[in-house]
Amino acid sequence: MHTLTDPYSKEATGLNCKSVFGSRLMGKDRTGIETISALLDLPPPVTDSSYADHNKHICGVLKEYVRDEQLGAASRLRALYKDAPKTATIPRPLAG
């Protein structure tokens, strides 16, 4: 069986996860993937439960990435202002 048509292969799982990620980037949900799949004459998208599982996985990865980025930014700021006098005002970003 071809790896992309076998729903349990790593390639198919990765492709399904990428399709969910892509739909989320476009602001669409599972029905958006259904429409695109039908227009391109592709097999139907993942089931509702698989879609939810992929969403949870993507959300976890994004949370980890954002946390690491924020920790890195905080570390760079501490290093940048380590010699600043205690009374110095650290600039804040402008709102908007």
And the tokens for 95?
Answer: 């709102």
What count of other Cβ atoms lies within 10 Å of the Cβ of residue 41? 6
- Is residue 42 helix, strand or coil? coil
Is residue 19 within 8 Å of residue 33, measured between CB atoms? yes
Domain count, the chain: 1
The residue segments making up the domain with residue 73 are 10-80
**Would you say the pTM of this structure is higher than 0.85?**
no
Establish if 4 belongs to a structural domain. Answer: no
How many other CB atoms are there within 10 angstroms of residue 70's CB atom?
A: 10
How does pLDDT run across 43-79, given as a tens digit for each residue? 888 888 888 888 888 888 889 999 999 999 988 988 8
**Which pLDDT score is estimated for 90?**
66
| Cα–Cα distance, 29 to 10 (Å, whole number) | 23
Mean pLDDT of 13-20: 79
Evaluate whether residue 88 is within a structural domain: no
